[in-house]
Structures are given as C-alpha cells and as structure tokens.
Structure 1
Amino acid sequence: MVLAATGDRLPQVVYWGAPLPLDEDLETLHRGHELDVTGGMLDENPDLSLCPEAVRTFPGQPGLILRDGDGTPLLPKFCYASDEQSEEGLSLTYADEANGLILIFEFATDPSTRIITAKTRLEANRAVHLHWLAAPVLPAPQQSDEMIDFAGRWTGEFQTNRTAWSAGMRYRENRTGRTGHEHFPGLLIPLTGCTNTKGEAYGFHYGWSGGHKMIAEELPDGRRQIQFGHAARMETQAAKSFESATLYVTYSHKGLNGCAVSFQRHLRDRIVTWPQPDRPRPVHYNCWEAVYFDHKLDVLKDIADRAADLGAERFVLDDGWFGQRDDDTRSLSDWEVDPRKYPEGLHPLIDHVHGLGMTFGIWFEPEMINEDSDIFRTRPDWVFGAEDQTLGRQQKALNMGLPEVRDFIYDRMAAILAAHPIDYVKWDHNRVLPMPDADQTRGSYALIDRLRADFPHVEIESCASGGGRIDFGIMKRTQRVWLSDSNDALERLRIQHDAALFLPIAVTGSHVGPRRCHTSGRIFDISFRAWVAAQRHMGFEMDPRELDERETAVLREVTSWWKHNRSWMLGADILRLDSADPAVMAEQQMTREGDKFVVFAGKAATSDQIAPRPLRLTALQPDARYRITLMNRGTAPALSRGMPALKDGPVEVSGAWLMHHGLTLPWNYPDTMWVVEGQRL
C-alpha cells in the first residue's frame, strides 16, 4: 500500500495490491496516479484522501461529519503536522488549527497474516458532537464488476450479497446496537474473473460489536471509495476525543481464499487470546436442546454420562439454572442458583461432570434483564432505553454505560465463577437494542475485560441468538462463537462455508443436533450431522438418550476421527473449492505447510447430471505426489454401483492432477458428505 500527499493536504492511497519492487520510485507512482481533466470537471480532481473533506470540494461522501458544541456544522480542513514511521507501521497527524481539531491515522502491518490494520482518531480542544467518523478511507479497484457483502437472519447467518458496481453509493448500516445477523461488517471486492481459488480480491472487516456503517461509492470520475465506521450518531454525547474501531484489510492474488486465509490466520493467531493455548480444543456438549428450562439433576447426570461416553470433554449447563427461570419471561439478571432445581447448589452436578473427565461450563446473558426479576423491581432505572419500548424475547437491556450496572453484573458473575470450578462461559445476547449507543458496546467490552483479568482461566463463547455478535472486536475478548442457533446440518453446511471467508476452524462452534432439527423440522442421518459438525470446533447439542445403537456408533467414530485430527486441523486454513456442480459445497482444510489436508464435499441438493463432476483441489504443489483416501467410503449407498478408484482404496497422484482434473467421487444421495484425507508424500 502506497500513500502519497500533495503539499500539506491529507494523504491518499495511490496504490494498493500486489507487491511492488522495493526500488519502485514512489514519486513517479504519485504522479502516475493523477487523473486527466476534461470538460465538466474542476481544474484539479479533489483527493480521495484517508478522510475525504467536503471543504476541498470532494464530490462524494465525506469521511468526517462534525458539529460544534452549540450545534453549528463544522467543515474541517486538515493540514500536515507530523508523522511517525517504523518497520511495523505508520502514524500520521494532521491539524485544523482554526477549528481546534487534530486527526490521526494509524496503520500497522503483519507480514505473516498479510493484514493491514487501520484506525482514525479525532481530538478537539473542546467538546464537539460527532455524526460520522470513518476509519481510514481506501480506494476500491476499478477492475471489479461487483462487491460481496453479507446479510442474514436468525438461523440464516452469513448470506452473501453480490451487488454490481454502478455510479452512486451502496450504503449499509446496522443500527441494532450489536454486530447483527443482518449486516456482518465485512466486504470482499473480487476483480473480474475472480473465484474462490484464483484471481485478485480485496477484503475489509470492521472490528466493532455495536453496529457499523459501510459506504461503497463510485464517483462521477470513476474512482471508488470504501468507508467503514460506527453506525452514524452512535456517539450520543459531546466529547473531546473519538476513534474508529480497527479496520482490517487485505489483498489477495489467490482468489477469495487469499483474503479468507488472511482473516482466519489473523483472528486465530493475533486477536484471540487463549486461556490455555497448549490445551486441545475439547469436544463440547451443550444441554440446551435436550432439556431447555426443565433442569433435573438426575436427568442431567444421565445425559452427562452419555455425552462423555460419546466422546464429549466439556459439559455446558445452559439457560435455566438461576432465579426462578422456568421460561424466557423471568429472572434475567437474578444470577443466583435456583434452590428449587439445585437444593445443594451446582456442586453435585459439577462434581459428577468432573468425575467423568469433562470440564464444566455455564450460560449467562449478562447484559439483559426481565421485568419479572428481583433486580428490575429494585432498579428499573438501570434499563437501557424507554420505559415503553418493545420487548425482545420478553426482555430489555441493561444500561452498560453505567458503572454501577457493570459493577453489579460483575459481582454476581464473579460470585458464581469464584465459588465453582467453571472454565467456560456461554455469553448470550438475545435481543437487539432499542437504539445504537457506543457507550453500550464500550461498557460490555469493559465488563468482559474485567472478568477476563480476574478469571483468566475461563474461556468465553460469544453468542447472540446464534451469530448476532461475531466480529474481531468481540473476539479480542472471547475464544469461540456460536455461529448459528440452527443445528440443521444442511443450513449449517452453507453458513459455515460462507463464514469461513473470515472465521477459522478453532473459534467456530458446530454441534451435532437432534435427529429432527428443532428450528427447521428436517430430519438428517447421523452421519451427515456428525461430519458437518466435524468441519469446525465439534460438539453435541441434542438429547443423547434419543440415539439408537447405529447412531451411537457413528457419532463415536466421527468424534474419534475429529479428536485424532484436531491437533493439526484447528490450525489449518479453510480453502473454499470451486465446485463445478452447484449442488456440492466443498472445502479443503490444509496445514500452512501444505503437507496434510482434508476435503469435505457436502451434497446440498440433487445434481442436474447423473455422475458427480470432478472436484478440483487447490494450493497444492504441482510436482508433488499425494496419497488420497476416501475416509467414509463404506457409507456409499447401494445405488453407487461402480468402483471409482477412491472407492477401492487410497490412490497416489500428483498435485497437478488433483488441481487440474480433480477428485472423482462416488455417487451419493443429497444431504450427505464425502470426507477425503490427503497426505503429501
């Protein structure tokens, strides 16, 4: 990325993409970046700077919208003040002396993950009102026909939108007060001809959990700009200092996978802090879809016995253990153990779980409150938003901007964590907020940071009705995400596939759900459910008492396979494959060294043609040889009557053949998965 400035004006990115020669003349690049001028234009094109300024006649959306303390609109004009450069990054300071403002841009690079991080800070000599502050504004490539961003809903997260570039602006904004199912804060810009495995692409992610705004604008002269920042008007109070969240950006010449691998590695290796880095990620059991609010100690012990026998290594007690919590209408914020359900407290259950060799986790929804709760009756003034607001799941949110609210929640949670050997918290957030407010997000961050400092051994999962709060900001404080409340294996196959554009295996929870899915009503074979869960951080979330003998055997076998391979899989890159058959959704999980991989080829629908089309692999050494093994070939149905090589046993072939011809897989039904292991010889 090359930045350049004319005189003392704000700098602009004049090049961003494939590496340039180290002796490239940057002065020439700056001059070569300048546009011609013709009729109907100004005599000079206004800079598409790191913060485009309205006062300099910029024809598009400005990067800063500001009012003075008395409400008067300000039109800042920033000029160079200073800079600091190092091998790792760059800090640029610009000042508007007339308005008493300072604007600071911070960049840092990570050669290992190929991520550049960028942030904007604004300082004033008196309190001002902020409407919009963009993270450093970057140009978008003009060799692109479309952009890819993300929509979604409950049980249908990470849906990709492909929008054609055209004159004007694509504006997306999430004002729900959390990251949101609706608008994941990510953007990919593929150049023409880009696929998962080939071509050029640019990636953006805004690491903030409180709602964001994205602007992708094509100017009349053809230039394109990308802006990310907090949702507009999130700063409800005048202040002297503001900053954007971190913007994570990357460039790829290896298709969308290049961006995906950069984001996956950066999140896993640079952002997440692991309580016990050397400990294997445990097979997870959550009791929610087995018992819901109906907690009975003898039943939970029986379920724990069965879960451990299947291979579970962690038992998580979900909603219903506290207050008078018999349904979702009461007791949120009354974080004390329910003596009706647990007359001797949680210790008998925890001791039983530990006796089975499993660790123990527990559910909280700390930022929420029910009107039918002891705390609400005592402190209704702690609620965030209007008294007559619309409820969400029968609950309101606590005002996390108030220190006394954070202290109360901390005291209740710390009391539970200090009194019990708990090493995992499922942290839920089951409703959108009545309005966006940056103090709400900062308050939640402060609470999590305080708990993590005092209980460093406790791992935290970010859950918000499933995938409603997933971003790199919350992941600085947590170690796992609950990607979706849907345990429907077919839906999960797609959600996981698209979320892999940003999320690595190690943080992405995926559970084997009930035989009949509770959110879709569909019924899937245990093999499909188990292998879909084995694509990520594996767990179970069903009543194990429903399993028959065959289902138990299959689940044990797949779980054992996952445990045997997790030591390398959890550090692997997820490479999405370009499938010639739209019915097949496939990915290749491969070590960074490329010596070992596994391919999951999920059949999500009935193919148009009879026989499976060859599935090309990616990122292999063309002249290396690989041993390829179809792990579950014994599950081929009777209608698979032929004997392709993989069905007969392992084959040894070149990387070139695997990438240019591809795997010839046996025929199979819809809603099934082929699992192929590869080893470089």
Structure 2
Amino acid sequence: MIHSWRLDDAHQTLVLAAQGARLAAVVYWGPRLPDSEDIAGLHAAGLIDLTGGMLDDIPALSICPEAGRSFQGQPGLVLSDDAGRPWVPEFHLVGAEEGEGSLVLSYADDNGALSYRARFGIDRETHVITAQASLESARPMRLHWLAAPVLPASQHAADMIDFAGRWCGEFQPVRTPWAPGIRMRESRTGRSGHEHFPGLIVPGQGATNTQGEAHAWHYGWSGGHRMVAEELPDGRRQIQFGHASGTEPEAGTRFETAPLYATFSPDGINGCAVAFQRHLRDRIVTWPKPDAPRPVHYNCWEAVYFDHDLAELKDIASRAAALGAERFVLDDGWFGRRDDDTTSLGDWVIDARKYPDGLTPLIEHVHGLGMGFGLWFEPEMVNPDSDLYRARPDWVLGPADQIPGRNQMVLDMSRREVRDYLYDRIAALLSDNAIDYIKWDHNRLLPTPDAEQTRGAYALLDRLHGAFPMVEIESCASGGGRIDFGILGRTQRVWLSDSNDALERLRIQHEAALFLPAVVTGSHVGPRRSHTSGRVLDIRFRAWVAAQRHMGFEMDPRELSEEEAGVLTSATTWWKANRGWMARADILRLDSADPAVIAEQQLAEDGARFVVFAGQAATSAQISPRPLRLTRLSAEAMYRVDLVNRADLTGLSRGNPALKSGPVTLSGQYLMRHGLTLPWSFPGSMWVLEGTRLQEEGTS
C-alpha cells in the first residue's frame, strides 16, 4: 500500500509518499501539478532501476534517511543511548494529520522507545514551505545529529550556491558543481556566522536571476548549524540542515530542529528571493509599530567611538536631524568605565563620569529634535575587567583558560540566574529612560557551539519583548555574524556588515537580498574615508547605496561640506518620499550583461511603479554601458522611466542617450528584452531610475 500526501500553492507542489508504514520521502517538488494527478502513482513512477553493485532494493531517501534500513548516504539521525551505544531505529507510521496547507507525520520506532514527528506547512501567499522535525524518547538519549525534514535536490541542476564570508565581507556566494559525495558546511562559532550563512540555492540548468527554475533553503537558527548536500552513487541528491554536531552535549528525552524554510521558483532565482523576503517581512518579524514608516537612522559609533561628551553628542544629534535623521542611537561607551573595549562589559550601569545626570539630558535633546532614541548593548558578553566578572567568574561559558576574543568572554546563557541578571539590568534602563530601540551586539565567537546558548539568548529576548513590546531591537554580531530567520523572529533589523564602505555594501546588499527584504536591512552612509577599508568614495554613491535599504547615517556629520550635506539631504528626502511603497516592494536582482554593474529593480506590490539602482562597481570592459534589462513588467504596458539623479552626470558623458535629457516612455517588452540605455559613469557611482506604469486609454 502506498501512503501519499501533497501540499500546493499557485507556484509549486510538494508530494510525499511511502511504501506501507515506512518513513515518507519527497517524491516530487516542483511546478504545480494538476489537481487530477495520481500522486500515489508518483511513488512508483520515480523508482530507479537496479543494476550490478547495488542492494536488491533501493533504500528510500526519506525525510529522515535511516541507517537501520541500509541507507548508504548521510543518515538523518545519529543517536546513542546514555551509555554511548549507537541506537539505530527503524520507524513506522503512527498517524498523519492533514490541515489546510499543513501536514504532520508521526512515527515510532519498532520497540516503542522513540517517536519522530515531521511537520510541514506551505504558505500560499509567500510560497514558502516550512518543515521541522522533533524526536522524543522514553529514556535519556544522546543526540549527535538530527536533520530537519530532508528534501531532495534536483538531478537536473549543475551547481549549488551557498555562502561564505568574513568580517566586513559577508554574503560571499560560492558556486560548487554537483559531484558524487558530500559538500558540507558547518558553523561551529556558536552563531549563524559570517563564515557559513545557513542558506542554499540550487538553480536549474541555465537559470539566472530572472529566468529558469530554482530551489532554495534557509535554516532559521542563530546558533551553530550544519548543511549537507549529498549526491549518492545512484545519482539521487539530498539536502540536510540541522544544528551543528555536538551542540546537544547533554542526554535528553526531547530534541527539535529549527524550522527549515524552503521554496521552489519557476521564474528564476528572484522567485526564491521574493518568497523569502515576503515571508520574513510578513510572517516572521514582529513589528512594534507595523503602520509606522521606517525611520532614518543615525548611529554615532564612527563619529565618536568611546569618546562620549554630552555637548558634542548634542551637536552631532542636531546636525543629524538637520540632514533628515529620525532616530539617534548611542553606541558603545556609555556604561561602566568603558573607555575602550577592554573593560566593563556586563556592568550595565550608566557611566557617571560621562553622564553625571544620566542619559536624560541627551534623550531629551534628541526627542526635542523629533528623533527617537536608541542604545547599544552587548548582553551576552563580559570583560574580565568588570565588576560582574570579578563577582561571578563562574558565569562564563567554557574553560577558565580559554583563548579570549576581543578582550571578552561569553556569559553562559543557559543559566537562568545569568538571564535574570541581564533582564534586570536592561529592564531597569528601559523603564527609567525613554528608549525605543536597542542595538544588540554579539562580537566574539563562542568557545564551543552549544544549542542551549542560543536557546538562552532567545529566552532573554522573548522576555524583554513581552515586557517592552514597543522597543525595536537590531541584531548585530560584528556586523552580519548573526543573521537568520530565528533571530529575526525576535528582532526587527539587522546590521548587515560593519563595513560602511559603499562599494563593499553594494555587493553585500545585492547578495543578502536573496533572503532579506529592505525593511530589515540596515544600510548607513559612512564617512568620506571608510574606517574599515580606507577607501574614499563620493557622497552621492554613499547616499544612494544606503537608500537601497533601511537608510541611515554613521559618520561624523561635522566632516560634511555644504555641498555634501546638500547631496545627502536630497537623497534622504527622496528616500522618505518613497519609503512607503518601497517597504513592501520586491527586490529583484537584475541580470547585468556587464559584470562591472551590480543592479537591482525594486518593484511595487501592485507592479505600478519601480526603482532601479544600477551601481557601477568597477571599470567596464567595453567603452559604453550595455543595455540593462528589467524584469517582471507587463509586456504590453507602457512605462515612463526617468533618471532621478541626472545632476550626477559627468563631463566625460558626451553622448545623447535619451535619459540624459528627460524621461522616456517605453513598453515593458522593450525594457525586458532590450533594456535601458544608461549614460556613462565613473566606477563608484550609481544611477537611480524611477519607473511608472502608464494608464491605458479607456481604463479607469
């Protein structure tokens, strides 16, 4: 007997099936199947043939591949009893619960000691599938590996794309050809990590941003994680995501993976990106003020660092407000005796030397300028030179002789007394001061990856959110070291990178848009000379790169010339005028024929307007710009397209492209098939174009 189940949305169908009571396998995941499809028949239709050198039956590539049933690839579960003896279960079906867009499959092993449950849901609006696995035991077991429900990878794909990175160089795509064997990425830093972002894209043959088929995965967990992409000798391929091995060091009776988010796109990699962007924005993030526009952000870090002077900060705040800032964030240096990064983490008491009257005078000044006020914390860390460490050295995670990082240690967040201490200190500051924003940093790697550390951080964040639901929180971890759907279920913004170099940012933002919408992605106008790269970039380029996402400033406004201040104010005014519709726009990466151009199109929810950001990241090989093709427009509609920053034209642009003199009216077909002809520009510059769909005659 074949058991079978299907989940559908308008774009895709996921079919699971099993012979008898065995674990189900995904036997189809791709474009929407007809309602009349015999899904039970798909199980037989997909069976592969046998030949020499194979077992007499094909072990299923199930949602949790079982070593006990002779599966010869990476198993979905590695378990031992409390004495360390391997435990190799064989599961059978106990029950299936089907709901509207949901499926729960329950299994038990043959001796009844274990139960395994897989939950699936499909969101018919965002087109994201959510899958999660849990394991329960009648007696304590040691878990070495538990994969979220396993999905197959297409055998028609040639490559896979995952992501590496580093400090100030996040979201570096790595394209790897499929080959027999395993590609494994494992983050063991205790956070989702710069080095191993928990995401994977498998494009179909010939797929680009705008065309072809693609599958994508994201593991929504903020701790150590592992990804396995395996091609078996028989050609089948599987994708596994779960917590990093060894992160459940204690024996237990219940274990659970984080949610695995997955999607299929029939219209290019952008289809996966849009699904993730919408799902994160509309299903994951909890917005304190969902109808409020995203405020223009100012962070004082690269203006003053640890050198806090009240009069100076007031002056900086006044200048930031005059440029258009709507929120002021006081960064590191306000607490303990924090004059550098060697001291006082853990001592969350306002420094009376710098703020003899507390933060009130600065907050009142900021509020008087019409701005909200935010404050920096790094709660999960402690300096050895701190009152907290001297009082409670036993609260540190890991051995006493561990290698320190950034002059700091990690607090053991699994301990309730640690979380209570941190909650009390943070809650007191939030209660006594008008603070509506927290920048929550996480700057050092953990001495060992431990899932309890992540769960403890989640618990503290959840408790604070319950008590202060109107306070927005930004996730920062040396920039982009902790970005994932798990942390974003508890925060509303990420600091994508510590690099305020607009050229670096242009690329990082482009890649991060595969998973992140603009509204959560902080992007700031940095100093004229970047503090992380030493590169000097024009204010126009810096401003427009920041305007691609949640715009802010992070530099000393006193360095700006009158002309630079005017340029920045103008770009900020444009962003404010457009942030309403851009907040719900899809970020579509464009297939640029010129590798020196990094371009995207932000398309409004109703398709009636768009903005194109075309960044000249390097010198082009050819003399004149290649036409830039747009995407997802109505082929028959006419669009009015205008150059927003025409004033940025340079004298070396000597020709007469139509956009130089005014707007053009072109069909969607032309814009998608031929593309826009842009003026020439220097490297390190950006063209910004607005498009509006024109109303057809006879329509209202």
* Correspondent of 1:257 among 270, 290, 301: 270
Paired residues of 2:187 and 2:226 also in contact (CA < 8 A): yes
Distance in 2 separating the partners of 1:97 and 1:210: 33
The answer to whether residue 146 in structure 2 is matched with residue 133 in structure 1 is yes
Distance in 2 separating the partners of 1:469 and 1:378: 29
Number of aligned pairs?
681
Q: Which residue of 1 aligns with 2:697?
A: none
Distance in 1 separating the partners of 2:249 and 2:43: 40
The alpha carbon displacement at 1:97 in A equals 3.8
| Amino acid in structure 1 at the alignment position of 2:347 | D
Q: Which residue of 2 aligns with 1:308?
A: 321
Paired residues of 2:218 and 2:261 also in contact (CA < 8 A): yes
The answer to whether residue 586 in structure 2 is matched with residue 569 in structure 1 is no
| Amino acid in structure 2 at the alignment position of 1:322 | F
The answer to whether residue 445 in structure 2 is matched with residue 432 in structure 1 is yes
The alpha carbon displacement at 1:99 in A equals 5.5
* Superposition map of 1:44-63 within 5 A: 44-63=57-76
The answer to whether residue 361 in structure 2 is matched with residue 366 in structure 1 is no
CA deviations 1:278-333 (Å, max 9, x no partner) are: 11100000000000000000000000000000000000000000000000000001
* Superposition map of 1:450-461 within 5 A: 450-461=463-474
The answer to whether residue 354 in structure 2 is matched with residue 341 in structure 1 is yes
RMSD: 0.5
Paired residues of 1:513 and 1:541 also in contact (CA < 8 A): yes
Describe the SS at the equivalent of 2:356. coil
Describe the SS at the equivalent of 2:370. coil
* Correspondent of 1:2 among 15, 36, 46: 15
* Superposition map of 1:258-273 within 5 A: 258-273=271-286
* Correspondent of 1:79 among 78, 89, 92: 92
Distance in 2 separating the partners of 1:280 and 1:423: 15
The alpha carbon displacement at 1:635 in A equals 1.0
TM-score (norm 2): 0.97
The alpha carbon displacement at 1:127 in A equals 0.7
| Amino acid in structure 2 at the alignment position of 1:457 | M
The answer to whether residue 685 in structure 2 is matched with residue 672 in structure 1 is yes
* Superposition map of 1:92-111 within 5 A: 92-98=105-111, 100-111=113-124
| Amino acid in structure 1 at the alignment position of 2:421 | F
Paired residues of 2:27 and 2:43 also in contact (CA < 8 A): yes
| Amino acid in structure 2 at the alignment position of 1:662 | G
Q: Which residue of 1 aligns with 2:292?
A: 279
Distance in 1 separating the partners of 2:392 and 2:644: 58
Q: Which residue of 1 aligns with 2:183?
A: 170
Paired residues of 2:89 and 2:110 also in contact (CA < 8 A): no
Distance in 1 separating the partners of 2:569 and 2:604: 25
The alpha carbon displacement at 1:88 in A equals 2.2
| Amino acid in structure 2 at the alignment position of 1:580 | A
* Superposition map of 1:394-409 within 5 A: 394-409=407-422
Distance in 2 separating the partners of 1:533 and 1:34: 51
| Amino acid in structure 1 at the alignment position of 2:437 | Y
* Correspondent of 1:536 among 549, 552, 577: 549
CA deviations 1:481-519 (Å, max 9, x no partner) are: 000000000000000000000000000000000000000
Between 1:405-414 and 1:92-101, the stretch displaced more is: 92-101
Q: Which residue of 2 aligns with 1:319?
A: 332
| Amino acid in structure 1 at the alignment position of 2:236 | R
Describe the SS at the equivalent of 2:19. coil
The answer to whether residue 597 in structure 2 is matched with residue 597 in structure 1 is no
**CA 306–521 in structure 1, closer or farther in 2 if over 3 Å, else same:** same
| Amino acid in structure 1 at the alignment position of 2:143 | L
TM-score (norm 1): 1.00
* Superposition map of 1:500-519 within 5 A: 500-519=513-532
The answer to whether residue 368 in structure 2 is matched with residue 355 in structure 1 is yes
| Amino acid in structure 1 at the alignment position of 2:319 | R
* Correspondent of 2:566 among 553, 573, 583: 553
Distance in 2 separating the partners of 1:87 and 1:110: 10
The alpha carbon displacement at 1:39 in A equals 1.4
Distance in 2 separating the partners of 1:59 and 1:526: 57
Q: Which residue of 1 aligns with 2:32?
A: 19
Describe the SS at the equivalent of 1:384. coil
The alpha carbon displacement at 1:59 in A equals 1.1
Q: Which residue of 2 aligns with 1:295?
A: 308
Q: Which residue of 2 aligns with 1:210?
A: 223
Distance in 2 separating the partners of 1:250 and 1:17: 9
The alpha carbon displacement at 1:271 in A equals 0.2
* Correspondent of 2:162 among 146, 149, 160: 149
CA deviations 1:359-379 (Å, max 9, x no partner) are: 000000000000000000000
Structure 2, unpaired ranges of 5+: 1-13, 695-700
Q: Which residue of 1 aligns with 2:698?
A: none
Paired residues of 1:76 and 1:99 also in contact (CA < 8 A): no
The answer to whether residue 205 in structure 2 is matched with residue 187 in structure 1 is no
Distance in 2 separating the partners of 1:137 and 1:227: 5
Describe the SS at the equivalent of 1:16. strand
The alpha carbon displacement at 1:642 in A equals 1.1
The alpha carbon displacement at 1:40 in A equals 1.3
Describe the SS at the equivalent of 1:562. helix
Distance in 1 separating the partners of 2:594 and 2:452: 48
Q: Which residue of 1 aligns with 2:10?
A: none
Between 1:588-597 and 1:412-421, the stretch displaced more is: 588-597
Q: Which residue of 2 aligns with 1:329?
A: 342
The alpha carbon displacement at 1:592 in A equals 2.0
Paired residues of 2:135 and 2:256 also in contact (CA < 8 A): yes
Percent of pairs with identical residues: 68
Distance in 2 separating the partners of 1:344 and 1:528: 40
Distance in 1 separating the partners of 2:502 and 2:207: 29
The alpha carbon displacement at 1:663 in A equals 0.3
Distance in 2 separating the partners of 1:410 and 1:676: 47
The answer to whether residue 53 in structure 2 is matched with residue 40 in structure 1 is yes
| Amino acid in structure 1 at the alignment position of 2:53 | G
Q: Which residue of 2 aligns with 1:115?
A: 128
